Amino acid sequence: MANKNLPILYEIINWAMGLAALVILIMVLVQAFQLLLKPDSPDAMKKIKNSLLYIFIGIIVIGTGYIVTNFLIIN
């Protein structure tokens, strides 16, 4: 890959990470809203808990990918 393409690739990665962060924020807000709507339902609580766990795992995967990608671009 030529050096002139690195800034473009870096911008694409940053844009994608921003979009992923927006999606994660929306998912957390939806889960919080569902928690407010159904606080007494055990099934809903289990689904919300699992969704938040998957969101957290997604944050870790996306963050790790971002770190690895930036490390590869810099070096």
Average confidence (pLDDT) per 10 residues, the chain, 75 residues: 66 85 92 88 89 91 84 73
Residue 23's pLDDT is what? 93
CB 24 within 8 A of CB 57: no
Residue 33 CB neighbour total at 10 angstroms: 10
- pTM, entire model: 0.73
- What's the pLDDT score for residue 6? 67
In this structure, are residues 51 and 29 in contact, taking their beta carbons and an 8 Å threshold?
no
Q: In the numeric block, which tokens belong to residue 51?
A: 């969704």
- Look at residue 50 in the predicted model and tell me its pLDDT: 93
Rg of the chain, C-alpha, whole Å:
17
